[in-house]
Structure 1
Amino acid sequence: MLSLTIVVLATVAAGFVVWANDKRHAKYGAAVPAGVAAGVAALAWIILMTAGFGYLPGTTWLPWVLPMVLGVAAAIAAVVYLGRTRARRDTERLTVILRR
């Protein structure tokens, strides 16, 4: 369980870093990329441990590194998607309001 805790904490920290580096981070909350990263990393860790990749010689790194990489990638994907769609929708709504 200690490895799951470390993986989740590392991906949450990476999610906050991803949020801070996004130029459109005012469009969504700071916990969104951190939560997405933690959820994906925990799910990947559980799947890898259930599949038997943990604590075996040669595959010990899989439950540590792969969930972190997948979590950070999911956080980046969420930030890119939310940043673009929220900015576009906000612009459309503002345009509708200003045309009235």
Structure 2
Amino acid sequence: METVWSLVIVILVVAAAGFIAWATDHHHDAYGIMLPVGAAVASACLTWIILVFAGTGYIAGLTWMPWVLPMAVGIAAAVCVPVLVGRRRTKRDVVALTEILRRS
């Protein structure tokens, strides 16, 4: 049961980081609010599952890994995924809008 609570805390931290990443991104109008949150939570959960199945939560000296590493991976995903998607989406929207305006 102790490991389940570590997952809950990791999810809460990375979800908050995802919301903060969305709020601070200049291109957040190009994608939905759940993109950074979803990317952060999915990557953190996958990392946590891999680390727990590897047994790092029960090895002396490595008990920090299922806590800190998923949070770091989730925060990195919350920052990187929206930056990439926001820039690409904005460029594609400009190209599509230009094409529509040329046809008119």
TM-score normalised by L of structure 2: 0.93
Structure 1 gap ranges (5+): none
Range that drifts further, 73-82 or 31-40: 73-82
Find the aligned partners of 1:79 and 1:67 in 2 and give their Cα distance: 18
* Matched-pair identity in %: 53
Higher helix share: 2
Q: 4+ residue runs of structure 1 moved beyond 3 angstroms?
A: none
Find the aligned partners of 2:16 and 2:79 in 1 and give their Cα distance: 13
Q: Is 2:35 the counterpart of 1:32?
A: yes
Structure 2 gap ranges (5+): none
Name the SS of the counterpart of 2:101 in structure 1.
Answer: helix
Q: CA deviation at 1:99?
A: 0.6
Residues 34-89 of structure 1: CA distance to partner in whole angstroms, max 9, x if unpaired?
Answer: 01100000010000000010033211111000001001111212111111110000
- 1:87 match: 90
How do 1:15-30 and structure 2 match up within 5 A? Answer: 15-30=18-33
Q: Name which of 31, 38, 48 aligns with 1:45.
A: 48
Q: Name which of 59, 65, 68 aligns with 1:65.
A: 68
Range that drifts further, 53-62 or 2-11: 53-62
Alpha carbon RMSD of aligned pairs, Å?
Answer: 0.8
Range that drifts further, 87-96 or 47-56: 47-56
Name the SS of the counterpart of 1:54 in structure 2.
Answer: helix
TM-score normalised by L of structure 1: 0.96
Find the aligned partners of 2:68 and 2:11 in 1 and give their Cα distance: 11
